[in-house]
Amino acid sequence: MSTCRSCGRTGLFVFVDSDGLCSNCRKGYQKALKQSQRLQSELETVQKADSLTPDVYGGHERSYLYKDVSAWVVWQFGGSYGKDCKGAGIRRGDKIDLIPRRRKDEPKEISLCWRGTEVAHMRSGRMRDMVHRWRKSHLPVLCMVSHVGGESNLLLEFAFYGSPPSNYSRKKSSSKK
């Protein structure tokens, strides 16, 4: 008669392998092992994401970091009219250039360009305002690709360096006059 070292089951129909585990415990052990391997790979992905943008750039320390920011992929670039982001060769860690565009309907639009080709537009109005504020203060902003998943799934990592003067302090000082 065999006894499982994990659950302690004993009986004629309890089959224990050389490592002392019954078939039920072995299934649970293998499931837990797969889950821990999956969690380990996710942890490695998260750790890699931290290394996309440096802590210091252009003589300034990083003040803000935003990960997995989604963008609107330009329809001419993706879909049936052209290649999707992944097929065009955009890879994780590629640098994206931020180019301000002034249009009547969208005066603060920021185009995201990869190797001179317009790929996407910024989705968040708050992020657009931050980019404009940093650019106006002549401070560096880095944008890197953190995930590419087809034509409409482009996630970016934004790093803002230095700290521009706040609009609140200017308004406050001008109201005292």
What does the pLDDT look like over 51-89, one tens digit per residue?
688 888 888 888 888 888 888 887 666 555 567 777 778
How are the residues of the chain apportioned to helix, strand and coil, as percentages rounded to the nearest 5? 30, 30, 35
| 131 in the same domain as 75 | yes
Tell me the CATH number at 120. Answer: 3.30.70.2330
Q: What are phi and psi of 111, to 5 degrees?
A: -95, 140
Judged against a pLDDT cut of 60, whether residue 38 lies above it is answered with: yes
Nearest to residue 73, comparing CAs of 130, 156, 144? 156
What pLDDT, in 10s, does the model give residues 94-104?
Answer: 999 998 887 77
Q: Are residues 41 and 64 in the same domain?
A: no
Q: Are residues 95 and 76 in the same domain?
A: yes
One-character DSSP codes across 83-112: --HHHHT--TT-B-EEEEE--SS-TTEEEE
Whether residue 80 sits in one domain with residue 9 = no
Side chain identity at residue 130, one-letter code: M
Higher per-residue confidence, 104 vs 158: 158
pLDDT exceeds cutoff 50 at 172? no
149 and 78 in one domain?
Answer: yes
Cα dihedral: 53, 57, 61, 65 (round 10): -30
* Domain contains 134: yes
State yes or no: pLDDT of 26 exceeds 60: yes
Asked if residues 114 and 97 have their Cβ atoms less than 8 Å apart, the reply is yes
pLDDT at position 169? 43
pLDDT digits (tens, 9 = 90+) for 142-151: 999 988 876 6
Mean pLDDT of the chain: 76
Q: Which residues contact 25 (CB under 8 A, 6 or more apart)?
A: 4, 6, 7
How many domains, in total, are found in the chain? 2
